[in-house]
Structure 1
Amino acid sequence: MQAKLRAQANRHSIEFMIVGGISLAVIMIFVSLRSSAISILEIALTSSAIVAILIGFLKSQQPYYSILLDAQQIVYVHKFGQWQIGIHNLHSCGIPQAGETFELLELNAVGIKLISIDEFLEALSPRLAGKLLIEQRHIFLQAVKMHCKNGNCPSEWLIEPDEFKSDSGQTYTGLIAMFANRMHNLKTLTGYDLLLPANVLDRDIWRFSTLLNRWKLSPEQVVKNLREEQVTNEQM
């Protein structure tokens, strides 16, 4: 039994493209039937319609389901691959915070703390690792800035080396090593190894964090509840 959660980033793609396409068609017909030159307002509206079509197209390229959850593991589905974490390897989840005691910044993501990073890294594809390094860099830099307000940041926080040795003695190179170094730095800054950004989730980060912690304690019940929730939403 598996629950499938749809990302917010994928939603309303068709609506964006339909509204943008209809708007663009109406503007073109209106302009073609009129003898005067196109106005600045019409140019702006045309640009907006094209942007809506582009946004809808980009949304449609995202996986329909971003999170797959069953009693054994959680799978994050990305258009460049996927990673998975067995329930036995999940330590805890929460909202990562960065900064000093009296000035903490909550990152717009769910943080995941692993028991063994080696198990995760050995199943991670270099292609996905490289893409996540780029996509999640802005979130990581928010944490870095909160810790480096005096401007003195360790260089390894800003440029991930392409070699990494885990606590178990396993050595990694290339993109996997760079991702492992990002994980190490993220844990130093926030206490978590991985990030699930808000836009890949089907609910807000606080509810999703609570959901995963509940899943850790009672996986079959949580999956059952999610499937029932999904059926109810489809019938509405």
Structure 2
Amino acid sequence: MFCAIVLIVLCGAVYFYPTANAAAIAIIFIMALAMLIIAYKQSKEPALSFTLTFMHIQFHSSYGGWLARWKNIAEIGPATICYQGWCEPVPWVGVRLKNYDEFLESICPRTASKILLEQRILLILAYKRSDDPPHEIEDMLFDDTHYLTSNGRVLKGLLAMLANRMRYNRELLGYDFFISEDLLDRPTDDFVGLARRYLAAS
């Protein structure tokens, strides 16, 4: 609202004072316009990040989301990275699935891309802490080998890359994908406790 008022005042100033410093007005105009665009984008963000029901957990965002039914979740827990017998907690919640197909078919390529980019740091850290990594890090980060679902559908591109990344995550980290603490409305341990209660009741 404030940015819109600034833009209106600037337009009025240019109209009534044509001799005003054009460069200064242009800079203020660009800044106000940028703030207005940012405010508009933030207003489009969903009010909720997660929905937990007796059937599923669902993530919502402006770029898409994902859904996992409780009956397809094997484990939810705080993520850790281990090295020489010592495990260090990281600000993420790990999710291990029983079957990848349903999860992969519920998300769009844009969501898959965000997961791949945002969660790659965890795989890199786990790789660096591993005494004998099973694969080269480049092979794990960029593996786009086609993924065949149980119903015969072939996933390619970003969805195939996500399926392969989930397999590597499980191998090195024990979970398939992760939820950043930044997305939660409560501490990680509280969220894990709540999710586990839903999981136990399903």
Query: Aligned equivalents of 1:44 and 1:198: distance in 2?
Result: 37
One-letter code aligned to 2:8? A
**What is the match of residue 4 of structure 1?**
none
**Could you tell me which of 170, 178, 202 is aligned with 1:195?**
178
Question: Structure 2: which 5+ residue stretches go unaligned?
Answer: 130-134
If asked which structure has higher relative contact order (CA below 8 Å, sep 6+), I would say 1
**CA spacing shift, 1:147–1:78, aligned 2, 3 Å:** same
**What is the match of residue 37 of structure 2?**
54
Q: Contact 1:74–1:86 (CA<8 Å) still a contact in 2?
A: yes
One-letter code aligned to 2:21? A
Q: Contact 2:147–2:156 (CA<8 Å) still a contact in 1?
A: no
**What is the match of residue 208 of structure 1?**
191
**What is the match of residue 173 of structure 1?**
155
**What is the match of residue 131 of structure 1?**
110
CA deviations over 1:50-85 (Å, ceiling 9, x no partner): 222222222234344443322122222345654322
**What is the match of residue 137 of structure 2?**
154
When the two structures are superposed, what TM-score results if normalisation uses the length of structure 1?
Answer: 0.63
One-letter code aligned to 2:147? F
One-letter code aligned to 2:120? L
Secondary structure, aligned partner of 1:160? coil
Query: Aligned equivalents of 2:75 and 2:111: distance in 1?
Result: 21
When the two structures are superposed, what TM-score results if normalisation uses the length of structure 2?
Answer: 0.72
Query: Aligned equivalents of 2:14 and 2:87: distance in 1?
Result: 55
Secondary structure, aligned partner of 2:20? coil
**What is the match of residue 113 of structure 1?**
96
Secondary structure, aligned partner of 1:62? coil
Q: Contact 1:75–1:85 (CA<8 Å) still a contact in 2?
A: yes
Matches within 5 A, 1:36-47: 36-40=20-24, 43-47=26-30
Matched, 1:21 2:4: yes
**CA spacing shift, 1:56–1:90, aligned 2, 3 Å:** same
**What is the match of residue 163 of structure 1?**
146
**CA spacing shift, 1:33–1:60, aligned 2, 3 Å:** same
Deviation at 1:184, TM superposition (A): 1.1
Length, aligned pairs only = 194
**Could you tell me which of 80, 83, 102 is aligned with 1:97?**
80
Q: CA RMSD in A?
A: 3.5
Deviation at 1:159, TM superposition (A): 0.7
Deviation at 1:182, TM superposition (A): 1.7
**What is the match of residue 140 of structure 1?**
119
CA deviations over 1:112-163 (Å, ceiling 9, x no partner): 1223324433x425xx1x212321233322123324559x943322212232
Of structures 1 and 2, the larger Rg is shown by: 2
Query: Aligned equivalents of 1:99 and 1:47: distance in 2?
Result: 48
Deviation at 1:181, TM superposition (A): 0.7
Query: Aligned equivalents of 1:39 and 1:100: distance in 2?
Result: 57
Query: Aligned equivalents of 1:24 and 1:100: distance in 2?
Result: 55
- More divergent stretch after superposition (77-86 vs 47-56): 77-86
Deviation at 1:174, TM superposition (A): 0.9
**CA spacing shift, 1:133–1:81, aligned 2, 3 Å:** closer
